[in-house]
Structure 1
Amino acid sequence: MLDGNGRVARLITHAMLKKGIAGVEMWSVSRGFARDRDRYRYLLQCCDQPRRGDRDGRGQLSESSLVDFTRYFLETALDQVNFMSGILRTDDFSRSLLEWIRSQPDIARGDRIIEQILIYGSIERSHVPGLLGTSERTARRVVQSLTDHYLLTSDSHRAPLRLNLPLHAAQAVFPSMVPGNAM
């Protein structure tokens, strides 16, 4: 729009969604609006129309147009969530990642660490030897191997371990999203 209200509305909405909903970084309602710009612009312009009679809200602008735009907005947001879920195969993510790790000889022993991180979000380094059923030294080697392959990250050498998904792993886990020539 010439006045910039559409851009401002998208920025504010994205910021509000990001604050209130986990995972918003993975999808954008603006992508959905871009797929049908004419409808988006039409519905947004209708929100600036004057009220149509006594049954169209109490303010000066049309409440029914705002309801139509809000419905379109929510349908578009849901469409984008479903689109990204299909591409990311969120239901298969854990299984696919663990299968890929187990197929890699250098890091296969780290599958239990990754599995725990997928379940709990992170793992304390002190828990790794017990989880793997190995000595502390062997556990450090396994962690180092996963770190060398960029699958683990940590804020410091004492901080909990978290998952990092490098491009070479993303290609294996999300083949429809990351093209093979991306590296």
Structure 2
Amino acid sequence: MTADQWLIPSLPESIPPLILAKADVLVTKTAFLAGLLAPESAACLSRQLKVSDAEYSRIIDGYNTDLKVLEDATNLASTQSILREITELRRRLIAALAHHHHLVQTQPLSDGNGAVARLIVHMHFAQIGLHPHLWSLPRGIARRREEYQAALGLTGGTQGRQPSGGFQRTDKALLGFIAFMLDVCHEEVDYMTAALNRRKLRESVTNAFNTNSRLTEAGIRAEIAPAFLALLIQGALPRSEFNTFTGLQSEAASNQVGRLIDIGLVVSPPSDLLTLEIALPDWFVRELLPDLHEIW
């Protein structure tokens, strides 16, 4: 990418109040979402979302982007501070989406610019404090990929060049793209927030411990679901506290913990064998987020 591509395009002089309001609310929503998860649980979930994001990018672009392209973009982006000049948080958010638009428009998508643009906006969102590792922008775009392409002015994967070789950009088109992307962001944050609220988590965990074949075949008892839910919410617990939560006698509780470790739902760090930490393998994440892969 050239140096010009890293420049944040100038924003329209007048940004509609609705767009500003949506940007404001998104900041609040993502902070609330982050507050639902302990750091250990957030780290587990983030790893699973990263895997699904790669598949969603393939769906959006129609091919797998070379990992070296993404690595180079990450290294280059880490040296940039292109949003630092914008002091108002909501305008930084809007500028990040404008930059996404700019990056996709400046080179053909066959060069991997789509995946790179999503990676860069993810980094922008992290710097702004939107916790993008806890929700999936690629999922939202993949679910609405035809609208996404239309908002970018793409037809059949191509962009309409001006005679000068550049791309025509009107304030109306840019604002339309930003409004669309804000809607996508809200939808994905809302989806994760609804799935991870305490009531829904309790329902999902209870259902999994009663019906999931991996759990039942491993001999894991349904009545320890509340203990696992407590571990999921808090991220880590002393073994003794977890055993107490199970309501079982000491030997039976220890046996159940061993079974949870064996199937990868719980880990006991070698540095602290008296503590249990949450682990969320893909098959259990699907219990918590049954619609995460709904378009695959």
With over 3 angstroms needed to count, the CA separation of the structure-2 counterparts of 1:138 and 1:6, relative to structure 1, is closer
* Post-superposition CA distance 1:78-136 (Å, at most 9, x none): 23445x559x8545333122233145382124323212123322222232233334554
Q: CA deviation at 1:41?
A: 2.0
Q: Distance in 2 between matches of 1:123 and 1:10?
A: 36
With over 3 angstroms needed to count, the CA separation of the structure-2 counterparts of 1:21 and 1:160, relative to structure 1, is farther
- How many pairs were matched up? 165
Instruction: Report what 2:152 is aligned to.
Output: 41
Q: Distance in 2 between matches of 1:64 and 1:172?
A: 42
Moved more, 21-30 or 91-100: 21-30
With over 3 angstroms needed to count, the CA separation of the structure-2 counterparts of 1:128 and 1:32, relative to structure 1, is closer
Instruction: Report what 2:226 is aligned to.
Output: 112
1:151 and 1:165 in contact (8 A); partners too: yes
With over 3 angstroms needed to count, the CA separation of the structure-2 counterparts of 1:69 and 1:166, relative to structure 1, is closer
Q: Greater CA radius of gyration, 1 or 2?
A: 1
Q: Aligned match of 2:121 in 13, 24, 35?
A: 13
Q: CA deviation at 1:143?
A: 0.8
Instruction: Report what 2:278 is aligned to.
Output: 162
With over 3 angstroms needed to count, the CA separation of the structure-2 counterparts of 1:9 and 1:129, relative to structure 1, is closer
With over 3 angstroms needed to count, the CA separation of the structure-2 counterparts of 1:112 and 1:94, relative to structure 1, is closer
* Post-superposition CA distance 1:19-54 (Å, at most 9, x none): 533464542244256232442322998xx647xxxx
* Post-superposition CA distance 1:129-182 (Å, at most 9, x none): 333345544332121121123221343334432142452x45655555579xxx
The 5 Å alignment of 1:65-76 reads 65-76=173-184
Unaligned runs of 5+ in 2: 1-104, 161-166
State the percentage of identical aligned residues: 18
Q: Distance in 1 between matches of 2:174 and 2:210?
A: 52
Q: Distance in 1 between matches of 2:130 and 2:268?
A: 24
Instruction: Report what 2:258 is aligned to.
Output: 144
**CA RMSD between the two structures:** 4.0
Q: Distance in 1 between matches of 2:171 and 2:124?
A: 22
Unaligned runs of 5+ in 1: 51-61
* Post-superposition CA distance 1:38-79 (Å, at most 9, x none): 42322998xx647xxxxxxxxxxx555543332222122223
Moved more, 7-16 or 128-137: 128-137
1:32 and 1:77 in contact (8 A); partners too: no
Q: Aligned match of 1:28 in 116, 137, 141?
A: 137
With over 3 angstroms needed to count, the CA separation of the structure-2 counterparts of 1:81 and 1:123, relative to structure 1, is same
1:98 and 1:114 in contact (8 A); partners too: no
1:110 and 1:143 in contact (8 A); partners too: no
The AA in structure 1 aligned to 2:220 is I
Q: CA deviation at 1:13?
A: 0.7
TM-score (norm 2): 0.43
Q: Aligned match of 1:126 in 228, 240, 246?
A: 240
